[in-house]
Chains A and B, each alone.
Chain A
């Protein structure tokens, strides 16, 4: 007989599980490590074969990401006053001068506005709709819920052409508002269904107690239900943000200038002055940061959100 109980894994099982997790983590993290390191390589190191694991770090990729540069003749370079900053110096070592800032900052800001804007709108509308579906007698409730979900039954890009035409007619092409509305429309079904699950789990007695205690229905919702639903709201927000932050196809199709987000912009960096992989990698790395920070901040809720309802309190 083993001295280990059936609920407590044996050391061998623990070791096996640990190895598997590490193996999986390495495989999934490898591309990220590649991107992260490439961002700090020189253009030559970035395409070296076999790939360089150890290399001399350089900020050239990041400098190139945020600037546009012009090639000048060595004589003209000599004639210039000495470089006034470290990034100027990096650029001059390549026989170039900084012509101005790149558009990356703008595109990044567009991503922030559109990503967080549509996430807020999806979660806001989704919370209200989910509460109504969960608590009130909505006529044709099941049909409406199915209809909301049915928007997810095809890849969103399948309706790209109608949306393109609609946006052009309505003047929403290449606007922040247009992209926020579009991503909200895609995310809202997920938000309603996820949040309805969370709302269903909150006992009605809490609100009823508040109603008896002298609060209106809206106050009961705001003061009693919302705090209980915080977990669900947080995890829904993460899912919505990840979608709208990473969305590529619609962004390519519907934005070009003012409202272009970072995903369609990053590949265009490569065309400026040769194949500038470090700059592309730097753009991708920075692009990961906000969604990563957001997820880490809400991580506690996300974990609880995924297992929510599995164990009865």
Chain B
């Protein structure tokens, strides 16, 4: 197993820059998520680590060895594809043993390894079946089997649950995480599903337009977003943004928006101009009396909670409140923000202003 270090990695396809100067470090044994919308460069980054694309510039270290320009077969990693990519002309057993055969391993040894892996994955009974007739879940297990059988330094997974139906996905996600915990293998996992990333990852890199927006633990990324993109992309519904023109001084613990004072974590840098006040839906409470009033326009019932949309002077806000609290469309309510969790952004650059809350998590390397 190995740590993976990425330094100033860059990839251009003609005029198009898919990945711009990315740097991050994946610790040994970490379950690492590359998260972002489609076309953000996450898959290209993964393919560069795997050796399926060669970087335009930059370095990739796997287990302290620079492998940036080496072909995939010399990197000792395994790759799980979204469409599984099981060899269609081979049965399950041959698919799993194929990486071992390429190493010239003895037949008996191969048989033992395949037996061991199929026991771990619970696919012993389908070993002699052709892969074409298998269910999505079984195909996924065979693909995993082919990946783990060689005991590589690291696993690359490109949206491996993307081709499964929703119900099975959750089950497979748990299985995958359990498998990782048992083997302790460094895993790099690409997904566009923020829930999947939060649920499974030890660390997350959020990418957009080939740029790393933030790097950190799921909690940090959710609670302390470094940019408006991260705040918007992570969380469902996403963070509320209230835009206003104003100024803050270093050391201030409130901002004045449309003549209403809103509490914020102590600001560490002064700023003047177009500001954005970001607050997560679950940090908004609805009250009958008080300032900062708005009109309820919709309420979505979600079981234990409900999402209430409130129309205010600064724009529509979504609040997540207990489902037993009454909120009827048309009624006027007062909004109470939990200022300690709020983040201020520079509207122009989308960057979060430094504060007591996010100090230390903003830089991504």
Contact surface of A with B, Cβ cutoff 8 Å: 203, 205-206, 208-216, 219, 224, 227-228
> What is the chain A residue whose CB lies nearest that of B89?
A227
Q: Indicate the size class of the contact surface on chain B.
A: 20 to 34
Residues of B contacting A209 with CB < 8 Å? 79, 81, 85-87, 146
In the assembled complex, 14 residue pairs joining A and B whose CB atoms fall closer than 8 Å, in A order, are A205-B81, A206-B88, A208-B79, A209-B79, A209-B85, A209-B86, A211-B71, A211-B72, A212-B77, A213-B98, A214-B73, A216-B73, A224-B87, A228-B88
C-alpha spacing A78/B85, complex, angstroms? 79
> What is the chain B residue whose CB lies nearest that of A217?
B71
Q: Which of B81, B98, B103 contacts A208 (CB 8 A)?
A: B81
Q: Shortest Cβ distance from A306 into chain B, in angstroms?
A: 20
Decide if the interface of chain B is mainly helix, strand, loop or mixed.
Answer: loop
- Asked whether B58 is an interface residue with its Cβ less than 8 Å from the other chain, the reply is no
Q: Which of A213, A219, A224 contacts B99 (CB 8 A)?
A: A213
Q: Known contacts being A228-B88, A228-B89, is A212 close to B73, with CB within 8 Å? A: yes
Whether the pair B52, A208 counts as a contact (CB closer than 8 A) is yes
Q: Known contacts being A211-B71, A214-B73, A216-B73, is A205 close to B83, with CB within 8 Å? A: yes
> What is the chain A residue whose CB lies nearest that of B102?
A214
Whether the pair B85, A208 counts as a contact (CB closer than 8 A) is yes
> What is the chain B residue whose CB lies nearest that of A209?
B85
Q: Shortest Cβ distance from A17 into chain B, in angstroms?
A: 31
> What is the chain A residue whose CB lies nearest that of B158?
A205
Q: Shortest Cβ distance from A255 into chain B, in angstroms?
A: 41
Residues of A contacting B71 with CB < 8 Å? 211, 216
Whether the pair A215, B73 counts as a contact (CB closer than 8 A) is yes
- Asked whether B19 is an interface residue with its Cβ less than 8 Å from the other chain, the reply is no
Q: Which of B52, B83, B146 contacts A213 (CB 8 A)?
A: B146
C-alpha spacing A210/B71, complex, angstroms? 12
Residues of A contacting B146 with CB < 8 Å? 209, 213
C-alpha spacing A219/B87, complex, angstroms? 14
Whether the pair A212, B52 counts as a contact (CB closer than 8 A) is yes
C-alpha spacing A206/B81, complex, angstroms? 9
> What is the chain B residue whose CB lies nearest that of A230?
B89
Whether the pair A212, B83 counts as a contact (CB closer than 8 A) is no
Residues of B contacting A219 with CB < 8 Å? 102
Q: Shortest Cβ distance from B78 into chain A, in angstroms?
A: 6
Q: Shortest Cβ distance from A209 into chain B, in angstroms?
A: 4
C-alpha spacing A203/B88, complex, angstroms? 11
Q: Known contacts being A203-B83, A205-B83, is A212 close to B78, with CB within 8 Å? A: yes
Residues of B contacting A227 with CB < 8 Å? 89
Residues of B contacting A210 with CB < 8 Å? 87, 98
> What is the chain B residue whose CB lies nearest that of A207?
B85
- Asked whether B234 is an interface residue with its Cβ less than 8 Å from the other chain, the reply is no
Whether the pair B79, A212 counts as a contact (CB closer than 8 A) is yes
Residues of A contacting B83 with CB < 8 Å? 203, 205
* Extra contacts besides A210-B87, A213-B99 (18): CB < 8 Å: A205-B81, A205-B83, A205-B85, A208-B79, A209-B79, A210-B98, A211-B71, A211-B72, A211-B73, A212-B50, A212-B72, A212-B73, A212-B77, A212-B99, A214-B73, A215-B102, A216-B71, A228-B88
Q: Shortest Cβ distance from A267 into chain B, in angstroms?
A: 46
Whether the pair B99, A214 counts as a contact (CB closer than 8 A) is yes
Q: Which of B52, B78, B85 contacts A206 (CB 8 A)?
A: B85
Q: Shortest Cβ distance from A32 into chain B, in angstroms?
A: 37
C-alpha spacing A228/B87, complex, angstroms? 9
Whether the pair A211, B98 counts as a contact (CB closer than 8 A) is no
> What is the chain B residue whose CB lies nearest that of A224?
B87
Give B87-111 as 1s and 0s: 1 = Cβ < 8 Å from A's Cβ atoms.
Answer: 1110000000011001100000000
Give B52-72 as 1s and 0s: 1 = Cβ < 8 Å from A's Cβ atoms.
Answer: 100000000000000000011
C-alpha spacing A206/B87, complex, angstroms? 6
> What is the chain B residue whose CB lies nearest that of A211?
B72
C-alpha spacing A298/B60, complex, angstroms? 48
The 7 A-B residue pairs with the shortest CB-CB distance, nearest first, are A205-B85, A214-B102, A213-B99, A209-B85, A212-B79, A227-B89, A211-B72
A211, A212, A214, A228 — which one has the most chain B CB atoms within 10 A of its CB?
Answer: A212
Residues of A contacting B85 with CB < 8 Å? 203, 205-206, 208-209
Whether the pair B103, A214 counts as a contact (CB closer than 8 A) is yes
Q: Shortest Cβ distance from B145 into chain A, in angstroms?
A: 12
> What is the chain B residue whose CB lies nearest that of A205?
B85
Whether the pair B52, A211 counts as a contact (CB closer than 8 A) is yes
C-alpha spacing A208/B80, complex, angstroms? 10
Residues of A contacting B72 with CB < 8 Å? 208, 211-212
Residues of A contacting B87 with CB < 8 Å? 206, 209-210, 224
> What is the chain A residue whose CB lies nearest that of B47?
A208
C-alpha spacing A214/B85, complex, angstroms? 15
Residues of B contacting A208 with CB < 8 Å? 52, 72, 79, 81, 85
C-alpha spacing A169/B88, complex, angstroms? 50
Q: Shortest Cβ distance from A308 into chain B, in angstroms?
A: 14
> What is the chain A residue whose CB lies nearest that of B78?
A212
C-alpha spacing A23/B88, complex, angstroms? 41
> What is the chain A residue whose CB lies nearest that of B156?
A212
Give B137-170 as 1s and 0s: 1 = Cβ < 8 Å from A's Cβ atoms.
Answer: 0000000001000100000000000000000000
C-alpha spacing A213/B150, complex, angstroms? 9
> What is the chain B residue whose CB lies nearest that of A214?
B102
A205, A209, A224 — which one has the most chain B CB atoms within 10 A of its CB?
Answer: A209
C-alpha spacing A19/B42, complex, angstroms? 59
Residues of B contacting A213 with CB < 8 Å? 73, 98-99, 102, 146, 150
Residues of B contacting A228 with CB < 8 Å? 88-89
Residues of B contacting A205 with CB < 8 Å? 81, 83, 85
Residues of A contacting B77 with CB < 8 Å? 212
C-alpha spacing A212/B77, complex, angstroms? 7
Residues of A contacting B79 with CB < 8 Å? 208-209, 212
Q: Shortest Cβ distance from A97 into chain B, in angstroms?
A: 59
Q: Shortest Cβ distance from B257 into chain A, in angstroms?
A: 51
C-alpha spacing A208/B79, complex, angstroms? 9
C-alpha spacing A200/B29, complex, angstroms? 38
C-alpha spacing A209/B103, complex, angstroms? 15
